[in-house]
Amino acid sequence: MKILYSNDELKTCIRRLGAEIGKDYRGKDLLVIGLLKGCVVFMSHLLVEIEGVEAEIDFMTISSYKHGTRSEDFKFVQDLDSEVKGRDVLIMEDIIDTGRTLAFTQAHLRNLGANSVATAVLVYKKSNLEVPIEEPKYVGFSYEDKEFIVGFGFDYGGKYRNLSNVYQLEEKDYKIYLSA
């Protein structure tokens, strides 16, 4: 594995996003919605960088039936507890790849009557987009490479989320995982 974003780079980037969000949502009724499980590390770092806003948080778990590595059809494993109607909603997602998860989530929140729906994403694989999405307002890193990334919340087969840096998996890492 090789480091893509170090913990210091991640924290600097998240501090910048937090400052922007704090400025944009001052005085607003902010409901932050995390998409589990990938959001956990990014969201917990980002939340504490948002100053001057009395944010509420909630979570959704959406499961996709994967065809290969692509997410296709979605179902709710855990839906929101919070009232969304009339609220300013900010989705926090770890990564946008094909855009399917985000498009589904944005449509769901719009249907629930949110006053506004914005998105904060740590890593945006913009060139992989396959469906139209409402562009994320807060983007940590734009990622153009093909390699799969892990660490800082990103998993491979459920593992590696606890790593403090973001890494790119290399060929030999897949072999180690498969032979374990």
Catalytic (active-site) positions: 97
Residue span binding ligand 5GP (CB under 6 A) among the ranges 8-16, 40-48, 75-83, 99-107: 99-107
Q: How many residues bind ligand 5GP (CB under 6 A)?
A: 17
Is 150 a binding residue for ligand 5GP by CB under 6 A? The answer is yes
Find the shortest distance in angstroms from Cβ 25 to ligand 5GP.
24
Is 38 a binding residue for ligand 5GP by CB under 6 A? The answer is yes
Is 97 a binding residue for ligand 5GP by CB under 6 A? The answer is yes
Is 100 a binding residue for ligand 5GP by CB under 6 A? The answer is yes
Q: What is the CA radius of gyration of the chain?
A: 16
Euclidean distance between CA atoms 64 and 125, whole angstroms: 18
C-alpha dihedral, 20 to 44 to 7 to 138, nearest 10°: -30
| Angle at the Cα of 38 from the Cα atoms of 174 and 105, rounded to 5 degrees | 125
Interaction pattern, residues 53-82, with ligand 5GP; x per rule: CB under 6 A: ------------------x-----------
Are 106 and 117 in contact, with CB atoms under 8 Å apart?
yes
Query: Residue 23 pairs with which residues in a beta bridge?
Result: none
* Total number of residues shown for the chain: 180
Question: How distant, in Å, are the alpha carbons of 19, 35, 165 from that of 128?
Answer: 28, 20, 23
Residue span binding ligand 5GP (CB under 6 A) among the ranges 3-11, 44-52, 105-113, 147-155: 147-155
Euclidean distance between CA atoms 105 and 80, whole angstroms: 11
- Candidates 9, 40, 155, 165; binder of ligand 5GP (CB under 6 A) is 155
Binding footprint of ligand 5GP on the chain (CB under 6 A): 38, 71, 94-102, 148-150, 154-156
